Amino acid sequence: SAVGRGPEVPFSSDAYRITATSRGKELRLTLAPLGPGEPLHLVFRFGMSGSFRLCPAAQLPRHAHLCFRTRESPPRALCFVDPRRFGSWRLGDAWQQDRGPCVLTEYQAFRENVLKNLEDKAFDKPICEALLNQKFFNGIGNYLRSEILYRLKIPPFEKARTVLEALKDQEQARRKKNPSLTLSKKLKLMQENPDLLELCHTVPTEVITAEKNLFEPDHVDNYAAFKNWLQCYLVPGMSSLRDRNGRTIWFQGEPGPMAPKGQTPRRKRTQLKADPQALTPKVTTRASKRRPRAAVKPPKLAKEEKEAEGLKKGRARGRRKVTAAPALSEPKALVKARRSLRTSARRGRGEA
């Protein structure tokens, strides 16, 4: 598309196959021609709202910035959809150099990369901010960090080095105690008593294995399943603060010693569902706030007295500054009848 944040794709082929490989927050597509020709690689970054969607070619979704069409009849299109346009793609097969090992596919390398670099200045920051550093936590995003810290009851604004150095000491003590642990026993211990780095691997694995179409935005049931899986992020009763990067972190309990000054944690409230049958909201005027109106039955007056009384009430209402709900449309005959009553009331004002 004209507004897509990515270069032109110099690829043309009558028939080709698409395969994908992921690493952390990046995904690499390989376009391989079925006939003669060289394959082409594209590496995608998804931003906040990027995703791939397979749909009919005649009904492309909005914000589809790159489309690969099939040769079937009717044709379909594999689309890279990104409403906010934070995502992008680049040509070539190289992963971004400043990203560390993937928390999913390279767990051991990821763990060693964190523990051996604890002197890095990135760990001088709060743990919630360090978890978004893709140099060490490649694949962890905003909602994942909230879920990980919530499960371990770690304050989000505790110093990152303080939290991770404790893991380093625990790991050394575990090796001394059980030097001959098999892989199956290690996995069992990880499942029973996971630490922060282990949860960086298992929590996103839960999301991936939960449902294939979990993040399909047009499917209400899938989004509901994802919301039910969340334990902390956007959950009513949880508190939230903005970190120094402007990202909102959700947590429970105290924020920690490195919480930003001048902010008070906001608690998520339960939202009440609106009644679809309610046409207009209830409006409270200033007069009704000061004194409730008494329900008085009007006396039986003569025709002229009724018209004059209605005129006085109409003027009194005009002097009050209230905001009322918009009235429903009325038949023209009824409006004309009311105008004639007002006119006759003005003419007979002296008699009334």
Spell out the per-residue pLDDT of the chain, length 352, in tens. Answer: 888 888 999 998 889 999 999 999 999 999 999 989 999 999 999 988 899 999 999 999 989 999 999 988 999 999 999 999 999 999 999 999 999 999 999 999 999 999 999 999 999 999 999 999 999 999 999 999 999 999 999 999 999 999 999 887 776 666 666 666 665 665 555 556 799 999 999 999 998 887 655 555 555 566 777 888 999 999 999 999 999 999 999 999 999 999 999 888 988 876 654 444 444 444 444 444 455 555 444 444 455 555 555 555 555 555 555 444 444 455 555 555 555 555 555 555 555 4
193 and 222 fall within a common domain: yes
CA nearest neighbour of 217 among 345, 55, 33, 338: 55
Cα(52)–Cα(236) distance, integer angstroms: 30
Domain of 194, in residue numbers: 107-268
240 and 111 fall within a common domain: yes
Do you know the residue count of the chain? 352
CATH number at residue 23: 3.20.190.10
202 and 125 fall within a common domain: yes
CATH number at residue 242: 1.10.8.50
Full-model pTM: 0.68
Strand, helix or coil at 55?
strand
Give me the number of domains the chain comprises: 2
Q: Which of 236, 268, 300 is the last residue of a domain?
A: 268
Q: Which of 268, 302, 320 is the last residue of a domain?
A: 268
80 and 171 fall within a common domain: no
Cα(287)–Cα(301) distance, integer angstroms: 27
27 and 147 fall within a common domain: no
- Does some domain include residue 167? yes
Taking residue 18's Cβ as centre, other Cβ atoms within 10 Å add up to 12
162 and 203 fall within a common domain: yes
